Amino acid sequence: MRLKDKVCLITGGAAGIGKATAERFAEEGAKVVICDVAREAGEASVKTLGPDASFYVVNVANRQAAQEWADAVYAKYGRIDILINNAGILRDSQLVKVKDGALTGQMPEADFDLVISINLKGVFNCGQAVAPYMIKQGGGVILNASSIVGLDGNFGQTNYVATKAGVVGLTKVWARELGRYGIRVNAVAPGFTATDIIKTMPEKVIEGMKAHTPLGRLGQPRDIANAYLFLASDEASFITGEVLRVDGGIVVGT
């Protein structure tokens, strides 16, 4: 019960890594509060998390919505101990496509803006909304979802990689700014993980991911959840400003 009675907010908690993290934290005694834009999935997920759990429909890209969520959680529970900024989306394409010297395609500006608004601005919105409550109570933990591609880059992911690299920088700044208030800020960088998005890919692509991972398999959402659990717990009380790779040893592109 490493998180007994801790109030934990998880964005994008209706599925994938967010859902696995919510379940893992509930097992460790946390009062879990998840948000997502998928109402039906969120309502189904929260039923598995115990009587103290809550679900809110929140678009993290909306600053006011993020603030209203933080305010509502604090009003209900009287504190916010942990924030996990997990929500994220993909809109992959190449910066430009050229054939026979002619431009044949490019990443749509709307796709770039959308991924930035959720994956990066969403982290900013929720962190800024929650931090004052953590300062008021004398401490807390903020954990941000980066990715190995934010560290190594990846073909066809200009927008996604930019956000995940940005999350790394943001994490290090917040660790410096908020440490004086007893707030620890770290990031987790998952490798290829067997979420619903990955499972929809062709088998050949999935096998290629495994082949390039020294441990020979995809990560499971619970693998990432366990990393979040460690960083959220008192066992990591002297760790801040770090990025923990949970990737089976892969180096993207090799």
Of 163-167, 201-205, 240-244, the poorest mean pLDDT is in 201-205
Confidence band, pLDDT 50/70/90 cuts, at residue 208: confident
What is the arithmetic mean of pLDDT over 186-202?
A: 88
Total count of domains within the chain: 1
Quickly state the pLDDT bin for 196 (edges 50, 70, 90).
confident
- Position 69 scores a pLDDT of 98
The contacts of residue 232 (CB under 8 Å, 6+ apart) are: 3, 6, 8, 25, 82, 84, 141, 143
Q: How far apart are CA 66 and CA 128, in angstroms?
A: 9
Question: Taking residues 180-202, what's their average pLDDT?
Answer: 90
Predicted pLDDT of residue 253: 60
Distance CA 149, CA 188 (A): 12
Q: What is the per-residue burial (b if ≥16 Cβ within 10 Å, else e) of 104-135?
A: eeebeeebbeebbbbbbbbbbbbbebbbebbe
Spell out where the chain has E strands: 7-11, 31-36, 54-57, 82-85, 96-99, 102-106, 140-145, 183-190, 243-246
Does residue 252 belong to any structural domain of this protein?
Answer: no
Measured between alpha carbons, how far is 164 from 213 in angstroms, rounded to an integer? Answer: 20
CB 97 within 8 A of CB 103: yes
Q: What is the mean pLDDT of residues 180-189?
A: 98
CB-based contact 171:146 (threshold 8 Å): yes
Query: Taking the CB of residue 235, how many other CB atoms lie within 10 A of it?
Result: 11
Note if the pTM is more than 0.85. yes
Give the DSSP H or E segment for 209: helix 203-211
Return the CATH number at 102.
3.40.50.720
Confidence class for position 205, pLDDT limits 50, 70, 90: confident
Q: Mapping DSSP to helix (H, G, I), strand (E, B) and coil, where does residue 140 land? A: strand
Q: Is the pLDDT of residue 77 over 70?
A: yes
| Residue 226 placed within a domain | yes
pLDDT mean across residues, the chain: 95
- What pLDDT is attached to residue 88? 95
- The pLDDT tens digits for 215-239 are 999 999 999 999 999 999 999 999 9
251 backbone dihedrals φ, ψ, rounded to 5°? -120, 115
Could you read off the pLDDT of 156-176 as tens digits, one per residue? 999 999 999 999 999 999 999
Residue 134 structural domain: 7-246
Tell me which of 56, 74, 160, 228 is the catalytic residue.
160
Task: State how far the Cα of 54 lies from the Cα of 70, in Å rounded to an integer.
Answer: 12
pLDDT for res 202: 85
pLDDT reading at 199 higher than 80: no
- Distance (Å, rounded) from C-alpha 224 to C-alpha 191? 9
Higher pLDDT pick, 74 / 209: 74
- Report the percent of the chain where pLDDT is more than 70: 99
Answer yes or no: 56 catalytic: no
Comparing C-alpha atoms, which of 102, 126, 116 is closest to residue 34?
A: 126
What integer pLDDT is reported at residue 87 of this predicted model?
A: 97
Q: Which range, of 185-194, 201-210, 212-221, averages the lowest pLDDT?
A: 201-210
Looking at the domain assignment, is residue 254 inside a domain? no
Distance CA 109, CA 32 (A): 36
**56, β-bridge pairs:** 35
Please check whether residue 169 lies inside any domain of the structure.
yes
